Chains A and B, each alone.
Chain A
């Protein structure tokens, strides 16, 4: 048996990639350059597609290959390219000013990861029979951590485009949960969700553009006229 056919090897690869996913998410929290953030997001999505492929290979689940391919097209290529073009077009490749400074952001991200592990631990049942390349509760904890950190990132950002990026990375956490917990939801759901993410990303990008045109800035903290 070759080493790549060993389910244990697949399991370790998935855990490794999931850890990298979390590292990228924390890197995006502290990242001040918009273009770098977009690329980190693309890399994160690429790793997610790799995890999906690995799971599909070890579990003989062909429909997850399709999910991975969709992820590759939409979240690794289409959306990042679109966003990068937008960022260059409206010339905001300088820094993103977060509301909370970098050290405190990292500490917050660490605390959120801790919380995610506490939540995921409650789902862990060691007596349950494990399938081939079944994912440890590690992956679920990482998924919840990415979700929570994405949430924090949305609150912490002032630029419209970086809020959209935070939203999309938050959704990466959900997809990680979806493929790791359930080996992919039924195919039709995945196709629909990706369609939605694509359309949502484009719609938000257009809105970002309109905000830029109207306010001459992408600073959403200026959107404070409606009250009460």
Chain B
């Protein structure tokens, strides 16, 4: 029942806001749906911890520790984005950025606001569907739907550049996902001999995983290549990452946050599900080599772009390409340790990245510019709360001890050095050091420096409270994870760490 609850809440919120006329009610419903979604994700996680797996509808919807963890992280980001979005959009409205052509603001912004408050829960619904769908075809549909639900959130501001970003996002995303569909078809083909007859349950992951050792090996090999290219595009792995900086810099901040954390997690979740089947069928070496290649490429591509970046949001996008690459490397290095490292990295990244996005959003609304050069430093005088938190987030996301991402990166490296992938692990260390220097240099450039004579901003509670909550969580999670959450991560890692 909890699975149905988690799906129906965002869908209901989407339907309700579509017919409402008042802005206050849209905000109230948005906040309530975020809170209830998080609550039901927690309930689902509790149920999974008690029972192992939860499924309804004859195995149509299915949740194990891996799904529950991903759903929980998605709901967490949604929970924090909702109050931030209220403050962010009110400010955008006051700055006349939602209805630039008219001078009587207030009512004209309503269509844009309704679009945001309607499409965001739909977007979140698609992500929940990705993680609870047992049928791999339905999972593919849900991943594709996240793209469709978010295209018009990327074109939110209607600028020429946002159209360009949305076009790249739509085209690269669709081509990538058509490859993933081809991979899914091939997986089904390779499974068909082992499974015997056709039935609706023949594409269910929980059925396939039992038969995976008997799949056709040649077909599965080709299938995994297509799957990796397809879901890798959605996760923004290099060299299919080019849509990512554009989309992140054009979408509203809360949407960019959801895309950088929750969508990345969902795409990697889909990849990990197929990875389990591939390892069971072909053994770990084939998939690992490919994953390590793409993972290293993603981390490597991020290095030069972070070093010379001019826009703060694109900086964050490359940081998210880099972190996605680290997660894929964790999966590629393999074994129980690699899988655990990947999932811990995913968890810590989901806590840390929203902090950076929110701080950058606050800074951007203050300076009216996304450019790192135009901000010209001194942010710490104008935004006395946001600016130090931005520094904190920068330290955390680049993997500085004692923050969580340091631990998980360290574990990824340990998994790399323990296995036969010494060279890849050494390269990763070099890239990580370079990224640390570049990222920290860029962020300190806007935060530190003499005051620019701009009066400090009045503190907006909607936009500041999520930042404070997140920074507390970033610090606390470096030292302590709640025991049930750790159990969930550990259980999920056991699902991923399979032996043929």
Instruction: Say whether B148 contacts A174, CB under 8 Å.
Output: no
Compute how far the CA of A35 lies from the CA of B344 in the bound complex, rounded to whole angstroms: 52
Say how far A205's CB is from chain B's closest CB, in angstroms: 11
The total of interchain contacts (Cβ-Cβ below 8 angstroms) comes to 122
A224 contacts which chain B residues (CB < 8 A)? 164
**Contact A192–B188 (Cβ < 8 Å):** no
B495 proximal to A (CB < 8 A):
no
Answer whether residue B90 sits at the interface, using C-beta atoms and an 8 A cutoff: no
- A129-161 CB mask vs B (1 if < 8 Å, else 0) is 000000000000000000100010010000010
Report whether A154 and B175 are in contact in the complex, using a CB–CB cutoff of 8 Å: yes
Question: Is chain A's binding surface mostly helix, strand, loop or mixed?
Answer: helix
* Contact stretch, chosen from A2-10, A71-79, A96-104, A182-190: A182-190
Q: Fill in one digit per residue for B221-253: 1 if any A CB lies within 8 Å of its CB, else 0.
A: 010000000000000000000000110011000
Q: Which residues of A contact B163 (CB under 8 A)?
A: 207, 210-211, 214-215, 223
B125 → A minimal CB distance (Å): 14
Q: Which residues of A, 171-228, contact B by the 8 Å Cβ criterion?
A: 171, 174, 177-178, 181-189, 192-193, 195-196, 199-200, 203-204, 207, 210-211, 214-215, 220, 223-226, 228
A163 interfacial by beta-carbon distance below 8 Å: yes
B420 is an interface residue with CB less than 8 A from chain A: no
> Could you say which of B148, B160, B168, B182 contacts A200, with CB atoms under 8 Å apart?
B148
Q: Which residues of A contact B35 (CB under 8 A)?
A: none
CB distance from B187 to the nearest CB of A (A): 10
Closest-CB distance, B45 to chain A (whole angstroms): 27
A170 near B185: Cβ-Cβ < 8 Å: no
Interface string of B308-349 (1 = CB under 8 A from A): 111100100000000000000000000000000000000000
The residue of chain B having its C-beta at the shortest distance from the C-beta of A195 within the complex is: B141
Known: A186-B199, A200-B148, A226-B165. A174 touches B178 (CB 8 A): yes
Q: Inside 8 A of A200's CB, which chain B residues have their CB?
A: 144, 148, 174
Question: Is A94 on the interface with B (CB-CB < 8 A)?
Answer: no
In the bound complex, CA of A66 to CA of B477 (Å): 52
Instruction: Give the docked Cα–Cα distance between A189 and B141 (Å).
Output: 8
Q: Which of B149-186 contact A (CB under 8 A)?
A: 151-152, 155, 158, 160-161, 163-168, 170-171, 174-175, 178, 181-182, 185-186
Q: Are A170 and B175 in contact, with the CB atoms below 8 A?
A: yes
Other-chain residue from A122, A174, A188 in contact with B181 (beta carbon distance below 8 A): A174
Interface size class of A (residues with CB under 8 A): 35 or more
Known A123-B218, A181-B185; judge A211-B167 contact (CB<8 A). yes
User: In angstroms, how far is the closest chain A Cβ from the Cβ of B137?
Assistant: 3
B202 at the interface (CB under 8 A from A): yes
Does A167 count as interface, using CB distance less than 8 angstroms? yes
CA distance A200 to B146 in the complex (A): 11
User: In the complex, which residue of chain B has the Cβ closest to the Cβ of A190?
Assistant: B137
The residue in chain A whose Cβ has the minimal distance to the Cβ of B192 is A182
- Complex Cα gap A196–B177 (Å): 11
Closest Cβ of chain A to B37, distance in Å, is: 23
Q: Which residues of B contact A160 (CB under 8 A)?
A: 167
For residue B167, which residues in chain A have a CB less than 8 angstroms away from its CB? Answer: 160, 207, 211, 220, 223
- With a cutoff of 8 Å between Cβ atoms, the chain A residues found around residue B166 in the complex are 207
A199 to B137, CA, bound (A): 17
B138 at the interface (CB under 8 A from A): yes
Name which of B137, B138, B152 has the most chain A CB atoms within 10 A of its CB. B137
| Interface size, chain B (Cβ < 8 Å) | 51
Are B151 and A189 within 8 A (Cβ)? no
B417 interface residue (CB < 8 Å to A): no
Flag if A193 contacts B171 (CB, 8 Å): no
Q: A178-B185, A196-B145 known; A228 and B245 CB under 8 Å? A: yes
CA distance A177 to B187 in the complex (A): 12
Q: Which of B145, B182, B192, B249 contacts A226, CB < 8 Å?
A: B249
A41 CA / B412 CA spacing, docked (Å): 48
Question: Do A196 and B141 touch (CB < 8 A)?
Answer: yes
- The answer on a CB contact under 8 Å between B151 and A207 is yes
Q: Are A203 and B148 in contact (CB under 8 A)?
A: yes
Cα A81 to Cα B288 in complex, Å, equals 46
Bound-state CA distance A152–B394 (Å) is 41
Query: Are B137 and A192 neighbours in the complex by a CB distance under 8 Å?
Result: yes
Neighbouring B residues of A210 by C-beta, 8 Å: 155, 158, 163
Which residues of chain A are within 8 angstroms of B170 by Cβ–Cβ distance?
203-204, 207
Q: Is B440 an interface residue (CB 8 A)?
A: no
| Given contact pairs A174-B181, A207-B151, A185 touches B171 in the complex (Cβ within 8 A) | no
A182-B198, A193-B181 given; name 6 further pairs at CB < 8 Å: A160-B167, A177-B185, A181-B185, A189-B135, A195-B141, A203-B170
Binding site for B on A (CB under 8 A): 61, 119, 122-123, 147, 151, 154, 160, 163, 167, 170-171, 174, 177-178, 181-189, 192-193, 195-196, 199-200, 203-204, 207, 210-211, 214-215, 220, 223-226, 228
7 closest Cβ contacts across the A-B interface?
A189-B137, A192-B141, A223-B164, A186-B200, A226-B246, A181-B189, A178-B185
B interface residues, Cβ below 8 angstroms from A: 135, 137-138, 140-141, 144-145, 148, 151-152, 155, 158, 160-161, 163-168, 170-171, 174-175, 178, 181-182, 185-186, 188-189, 192, 198-203, 218-219, 222, 245-246, 249-250, 305, 308-311, 314
